[in-house]
Amino acid sequence: MDEDHTLSESAAEAVHLAAVLAHIDRPIVLVGMMGVGKTSLGRRLAALLGVPFVDADDEIEKAAHMPIPDIFATYGEAFFREGERRVIARLLGENTPGDAIKGLKLPHAGNGKAGLKVLSTGGGAFVNDATRELILARGIAVWLDAELETLVDRTARKGNRPLLKTGNPREILSNLKSSREPFYSQAPIKVMSGNVPHSRTLASLMVSLDEWLDAHGAKG
Ligand SMILES: Nc1ncnc2c1ncn2[C@@H]1O[C@H](COP(=O)(O)OP(=O)(O)O)[C@@H](O)[C@H]1O
Ligand SMILES: O=C(O)C1=C[C@@H](OP(=O)(O)O)[C@@H](O)[C@H](O)C1
Ligand SMILES: [Mg+2]
């Protein structure tokens, strides 16, 4: 059994996938600290649901024609944050029905509902007031959270996060984690991204999403 098959099986077993899909009418937006798994889990969630996946950082790089470390080095963080805000506004505004099924080669065709997609944000996006308000108004925000040690481990794998280059990564992550928690906690759904395979975190996310849809009268 390959990893993708296992992944789909366990997450799909956790909830009735079709019931969840039928009741989501907005983008699912992953927020949380760098290294928590927003990009990698977002891609898997989109594949499972059969909807498009988009990563805000990738879109910023495409728009700026340069990698994120170069944007920070050349123009600074404030410029990056403004680009991030504009890109996310565009991604959450593009809610045309065709958007949900464009160019898919995925196990499910998607249900063609307006705006159905998974959007993974960069760790600082939800801290910006305008960006957070937009995400809360137009999407279903999911806070992916993890222990500090997990974040330290996972961010050490790639040297592409400029904010971690300015000092001791553990200290920077610890400070950012405390200062950002009041913002992340405004997301209606929280999922722990523990030291377990992606498939387990994906299954927890599906269960939490299903419970939230039930509690908010979107189902039943
Ligand atoms: N649940 C998980 N189990 C194991 N590794 C993970 C998990 N989630 C993320 N990772 C790994 O951690 C690293 C950072 O993940 P990424 O998706 O880029 O995080 P983010 O977008 O939140 O910064 C990647 O190498 C990814 O494969
Ligand atoms: O936390 C942050 O401020 C950042 C997180 C990064 O994205 P990931 O959270 O996907 O690593 C990226 O947007 C940039 O390096 C800034
Ligand atoms: Mg990412």
Question: Which is the closest atom of ligand 2 to the Cα of 124?
Answer: 3
Give the mean pLDDT of the chain. 87
Among the listed residues 42, 53, 38, 49, the one whose alpha carbon sits nearest the alpha carbon of residue 11: 49
Helix (H) or strand (E) holding 136: helix 129-138
Ligand 1 mean position, distance from CA 97 (Å): 30
40 versus 108: which is more confidently predicted? 40
Mean pLDDT, range 182-205, rounded to an integer: 96
Residue 40 labeled ligand binder:
yes
Neighbours of 130 (CB within 10 A): 13
Pocket of ligand 2 (CB under 6 A): 34, 38-39, 57, 68, 122-124, 161-163
Residue 157 pLDDT exceeds 50: yes
Distance CA 74, CA 31 (A): 26
Ligand 3 mean position, distance from CA 153 (Å): 15
Lowest-confidence segment of 63-77, 88-102, 116-130, 178-192 by average pLDDT: 88-102
Distance CA 32, CA 160 (A): 17
pTM of the model: 0.89
Residue 43 labeled ligand binder:
no
23 token code pair: 């009741």
Amino acid at 119: L
Distance CA 51, CA 27 (A): 10
pLDDT per residue as tens digits for the range 97-152: 433 433 333 333 344 444 799 999 999 999 999 999 999 999 999 999 999 999 99
Residue 64 pLDDT exceeds 80: yes
20 alpha-carbon distance from chain centroid:
18
Amino acid at 107: P
Neighbours of ion ligand 3 (CB under 5 A): 38-39
Pocket of ligand 1 (CB under 6 A): 34-41, 120, 154, 157, 193, 197-198, 201
Domain 14-213 part of CATH 3.40.50.720: no
Residue 25 pLDDT exceeds 90: no
State residue 56's pLDDT score. Answer: 98
Prediction ipTM score: 0.98
